[in-house]
Amino acid sequence: GLSSGAINEMANIFKYDIDFVEDVRDGDTFQVVYEELWRDGERVGTGDVIGATFTNRGKRYTAFSYARNGKTEYFDETGRPLKKVLMRIPIEFARLSSTFGMRKHPVLGRMRAHKGVDYAARSGTPIMAAGDGRIAFLGWKSGYGRAVIIDHGQGRSTLYGHMSSWGKAKQGQHVSQGSTIGYVGASGLATGPHLHYEFRIGGKQVNPLKVTMPKPEP
């Protein structure tokens, strides 16, 4: 009975911990408290999510809304923000099409290391900055096609490849987490529209689905 708006908001609240495309399983449960908007005795829509719990594969996650500095944010029961320094997945509701590790390259036809993860999505789907940072590179990068690299500081950076076009931000500019930096495409060595996403620590690619994301201060 939840509206699509409330479902999307709940998915956005928990997106730093749960991939709602790959992680959700039969048997998962959730509870959500949300506002209903009524006018003259008639329900006209849903408002904000006040609180929620989501049990995913036996692990329970909690979220409570709290207004801080005039902005509503979500916190767990220990008071730590759910929003992490870096998002695990910088695109909404995409299908994981290729994992991190060795694979047969779909274009070159030979085995080689795949040092990122691929998310298949429709051409033109917005790609978000995984975290606050500075655009260290924006341009054509050989097999990556149209690409963006964001420097997040402390030795962390992310790369986004095969874009159809870039967003409004230019090289050297600072971007905020969640802002649109480009759009899904198939530029460079790609067989179809998808995002190639790399997470780098000290310049070395690591699996973004396995790395422990840094937690913000409570």
Whether residue 88 is predicted with pLDDT greater than 70 in this model: the reply is: yes
Provide φ and ψ at 41, rounded to 5°.
Answer: 80, 10
> Among residues 116, 109, 177, 165, which one has the least CA distance to residue 138?
165
pLDDT given at position 103? 40
Question: CA-CA-CA-CA torsion for 141, 142, 146, 152, nearest 10 degrees?
Answer: -30
- Local confidence band at 112 (pLDDT 50, 70, 90 cut-offs): very low
Q: Say what the pTM is.
A: 0.69
Whether residue 18 is predicted with pLDDT greater than 50 in this model: the reply is: yes
Sequential DSSP letters for 131-186 = SSEEEEEEEE-GGG-EEEEEEEETTEEEEEEEEEEE-S--TT-EE-TT-EEEEEB-
- Local confidence band at 105 (pLDDT 50, 70, 90 cut-offs): very low
Whether residue 60 is predicted with pLDDT greater than 80 in this model: the reply is: yes
**DSSP 3-state assignment of 113?**
strand
More confident residue, 93 or 46: 46
Under a CB-based contact definition with an 8 Å cutoff, are residues 11 and 94 in contact? no
pLDDT given at position 46? 83
The Cα 166–Cα 141 span in angstroms is: 13
More confident residue, 169 or 85: 169
The Cα 3–Cα 62 span in angstroms is: 20
